[in-house]
Amino acid sequence: MGKQTIRQEARRAALDAQSKRREERAERERRVEALAIKVLVAIREREAADRRAGEALTEMIETERLSAREAVQWCGDEVSTREVARLRRVAADAADQAAQEDDGAGADTGADAPTSAAS
């Protein structure tokens, strides 16, 4: 076997190995990406569930005039009073954020009104 043939075979083997490693890395990246999406979806679903639970607890406490301890009892001791406070904070924060977003949209609409009236 000549030197040139040996070099060509060596290059081909190296390129094949590199190609295989690239394919393996790409496949791993696809798997990691899919797992990251699962994590983020689960977190968003949990956040939404926490918000809904907090809204219900807030209604129990404020509208139905229950204490946090009574709300815990009504929930079959599935939550603690500490968890009740956390969930209510989550709901309040979500409501505050929604109100700020509504205020921002209203401010944009208000800013547009004088301009169109002046035209």
Assess whether pLDDT exceeds 60 at residue 107. Answer: no
Do residues 86 and 71 touch, judged by C-beta distance below 8 A? no
Give the model confidence (pLDDT) of 109-119 as tens digits: 554 444 444 43
Q: What is the mean pLDDT of the chain?
A: 90
Q: Please give the average per-residue pLDDT across 34-53, as a whole number.
A: 98
What pLDDT does residue 113 have? Answer: 46
C-alpha angle with apex 29: 23 to 31, nearest 5 degrees?
105
Q: Please give the average per-residue pLDDT across 68-95, as a whole number.
A: 96
Q: Which of 1-5, 15-19, 25-29, 84-88 has the lowest mean pLDDT?
A: 1-5
Tell me if residue 2 falls in helix, strand or coil: coil
Question: Could you tell me which of 61, 53, 55 has the C-alpha nearest to residue 79?
Answer: 53
